[in-house]
Amino acid sequence: MAKYILSCLIFLLLLVPSITNASDDHDDERIKIALRELGNQLLLAHCDSTSRILPIVEIEPSKFEISFEKSLSIDQGILVDQTKSVLQNLDLGGYYRAELIQCKDGEVAYSYEIAENPRDQIIPCSGRPIPEACYTIQIRFLKTIQTNNTEMDWPIYLSITISSIGLVFWLIYWLYFKQKKGNESLTVYKIGSLRFYPDQFILTSQNQNIKLSPKECKLLSILIASPNRIIKREELTKPIWEDEGVIVGRSLDTYISKLRKKLSPEPNVKISNIHGIGYKMEITE
C-alpha cells in the first residue's frame, strides 16, 4: 500500500510543474507570434511586402530577437508605435525594453524602454533617421506574460490540481481494494500441514511450492471436498475426462499415484484405494 501512495505522490509532484511548463511554452509561442506580426508591420510600413521575417528566437528567458531576410531602413517613430500597438493589443504585458542591433558589429543603433510607471519610460528622440542596413530587434519583457497569466489563470490551475489530487486518491482506493478483493477471493484448503491453492495449481509445504497439473488439481479438489469418504471411480473420472470422450482405465490410477507423491510431505494424509469402488482421502490429526 505504501508503494502505491509514494508512486501517486511522485506523480502529483511531477504533474504540477508540467502544468506550469505547458503554460510557459504556450505563452512563449504567443510572444513569438506577436513579434512576427511586429516584424511584418515594420516591413509593410517601409513598403516591403515580399522579404521574409526569419524565425523568432528566444535568446534568453524573457528576451526575444526578430531578424530579417534583407537589410532595411528603420523609422524610430514607427518602431516605437508599432511595437506598442502590437504588444498592447495582444495583451502581452506592455512593459519591455527594445533594442535595434546592428548585425555588422552588434552595437545598439537605437533603444527605448516602456515601463509600468510612465515616469520611468525612456523614449529617446525619434526624429533622427537610421540608415538602411542589416538589423535585428531584441525585446526584453520587463513584466512577463507568464507572470500575468499565472495570476489571471490561477482558478484553472487550482481546478486542475484539485482534480489531480482526487484522481490520485481514487487510484489509491481502487488499487487497495482491488488487491484486498483479490486476496479475499483466493481459495485455499488446509490439508494437514499442506496448503492447496486450486486457482494457482499449487501445493505448499513449508516454504516449498509443489506444482500440480490441471488434472491433478481437479482430482485433488474433488477428494478434498469429501475427506474420509469413499468416492466412486465414476465420480472422479467423469468431471475430469468427460471432455476427452474416451476414458482410459489406468489414467485415474496414474494420476492418483502422482498425487500421492506430491502429498507425501504430510504423513497424516494419504489416498487409499477402495478395491473395485474408488478412492478415499484419509486425513488424521
Assess whether 217 and 139 both reside in one domain: no
Q: How many CB atoms lie within 10 A of CB 128?
A: 8
Q: What pLDDT score does 232 carry?
A: 92
Residue 75 lies in a domain: yes
Residue 169 falls inside a structural domain: no
Does 168 fall in a domain?
no
The C-alpha angle with vertex 61 and arms to 93 and 112, in degrees rounded to 5, equals 55
Residues 140-159 have a mean pLDDT of: 60
**Strand duo 63-67 + 135-141: pairing:** antiparallel
Query: End of a domain among 101, 132, 152?
Result: 152
What three-state secondary structure class fits 209? strand
221 Cβ contact partners less than 8 Å away, ≥ 6 residues apart: 198
Task: Give the domain range for residue 45.
Answer: 2-152
Provide the pLDDT for residue 180. Answer: 57
- At residue 230, the pLDDT reads 93
Average pLDDT value for the chain? 80
Say what the pLDDT of residue 77 is: 85
Do 125 and 220 belong to one domain? no
3-state secondary structure of 127: coil
pLDDT, tens digit (0-9, with 9 covering 90-100), for 156-177: 667 777 877 877 777 777 776 6
Which element (helix H / strand E) includes 172?
Answer: helix 154-184
**Same domain, yes or no: 137 and 52:** yes
State whether residue 281 is helix, strand or coil: strand
Of residues 280 and 247, more confidently modeled: 280
Beta bridge partners of 137: 66, 100
- Check residues 157 and 13 and name the one with the higher pLDDT: 157
Clarify whether residues 10 and 144 are in a common domain: yes
Query: Which grid coordinates belong to 204?
Result: 505448499
Residue 41 falls inside a structural domain: yes
- d(CA 180, CA 174) in angstroms, rounded, equals 10
Assess whether 30 and 80 both reside in one domain.
yes
Q: Minimum mean pLDDT among 11-25, 37-51, 206-220, 230-244: which range?
A: 11-25
Q: Are residues 134 and 195 in the same domain?
A: no
Is the domain of 138 the same as that of 215? no
- What predicted TM-score, i.e. pTM, was given to this entire model? 0.45
Question: Per-residue b/e over 169-202, b at no fewer than 16 CB within 10 Å?
Answer: eeebeebeeeeeeeeeeeeeeebeebebbbeebe
- Could you give the number of structural domains in the chain? 2
Q: Are residues 143 and 199 in the same domain?
A: no
- Residues 106, 245: one domain? no
C-alpha cell at 207: 516454504
- Residue 214 is assigned to a structural domain of this protein: yes
Cell triple for 23: 503554460
Chain centroid offset of residue 147 CA: 26
For residue 16, pLDDT over 90 is answered with no
Is pLDDT at 249 greater than 60 in this prediction? yes
Residue 117 sits in the same domain as residue 199: no
pLDDT tens figures, 109-143: 989 898 877 777 888 876 667 888 999 999 998 86
Shared-domain flag, residues 148 and 255: no
Please say if the pLDDT value at position 14 is more than 60: no
Three-class secondary structure of residue 267 per DSSP: coil
Query: Of 103, 135, 152, at which residue does a domain stop?
Result: 152
Strands (DSSP E) found in the chain: 57-60, 63-67, 96-102, 108-114, 135-141, 189-191, 194-197, 202-205, 208-211, 230-232, 269-274, 278-283
Lowest mean pLDDT: which of 57-61, 193-197, 237-241, 263-267? 237-241
Whether 80 is in a domain gets the answer: yes
8 grid coordinates? 501517486
* Whether residues 116 and 222 fall in one domain: no
- Per mean pLDDT, which range of 8-12, 31-35, 78-82, 275-279 is the poorest? 8-12
Q: What distance in Å separates the CA atoms of residue 229 and residue 281, rounded to the nearest whole number?
A: 7
- Going across the sheet that includes 96-102, the strands are 57-60, 63-67, 135-141, 96-102, 108-114
CATH classification of the domain holding 261: 1.10.10.10
Residue 181 belongs to a domain: no
